[in-house]
Amino acid sequence: MYIRDYKRTDEIGWVRCRVLAFLDTAYFDNVLTRKEQYENLAVELVAIENNQVVGLIDIECEMQAGTICSKKGNNLGGMVWHIAVHPDFRRKGIAYQLLCEAENRVRKLGITFLEAWTRDDDWVNNWYLKNSFEAKTSYFHVFLESSKEIRKAINSSVQDLHPVQAFAHYTGTEKEKLMSEYKRIHECICYQKELLK
């Protein structure tokens, strides 16, 4: 296994790796059909084994503080938009190696911290904590999937338009009430990691 820069010809392998990596997580339905492109400078790496993308990391870098990351201040941050390892290649340290290589590269671009957001999978959150990220804040992703849940939350002013599914962010403090009223809710947690020079 080796790590290198992402190339456009990697896109199909990148998408497959990301989809398979997310299937057994709370992000199982966050399916991309194309790799995102970034407005700012980004470090985009892939882990390759036998000509297959088995891991990936994308970090978009701020050129002006506070334009991508939520942390306040004058320091430049890097947003970890994607980090994933193909399920058949987990538990081999690939994500850690991708993170280390990405950190080395973003430091050279003047990035002093990383930020990442993830849902409430214990094993994913434990990986961030094990790799020196700190949980900073959170909110909730709420999926409105039944007609009862949708009627409770959404009113359409368009005649004959009937929402059948919806996704919402909840930033309030009544977690227990929300969990009793909606079936699928995930806490979305912000992690940050200071990069040492």
Domain residues of the chain, as ranges? Answer: 2-136+190-194, 140-185
CATH topology of domain 2-136+190-194: Aminopeptidase (3.40.630)
- The candidate with the shortest Cα–Cα distance to 124, out of 45, 58, 25, is 25
Residue 196: which pLDDT band, with cuts at 50, 70 and 90? confident
Separation CA 46–CA 92 (nearest Å):
15
CA distance linking residue 54 with residue 108, whole number of Å: 26
Helix (H, G, I), strand (E, B) or coil at 88: helix
pTM value > 0.75: yes
DSSP string of 79-144, one letter each residue: EEEEEEE-GGGTTSSHHHHHHHHHHHHHHTTT--EEEEEE-S-HHHHHHHHHTT-EEEEEEEEEEE
Which tens digits make up the pLDDT trace of 173-192? 888 888 888 999 999 999 99
User: What tens digit of pLDDT does each residue of 77-115 get?
Assistant: 999 999 999 999 999 999 999 999 999 999 999 999 999
Q: pLDDT tens digits for 4-25?
A: 999 999 999 999 999 999 999 9
- What's the whole-number mean pLDDT along residues 166-176? 91
Quick one: average pLDDT of 40-55? Answer: 98
Average pLDDT over residues 20-42: 95
Pair of tokens at residue 171: 């930033």
Higher local confidence (pLDDT), 126 or 154: 126
Give strand pairing partners of 69.
none
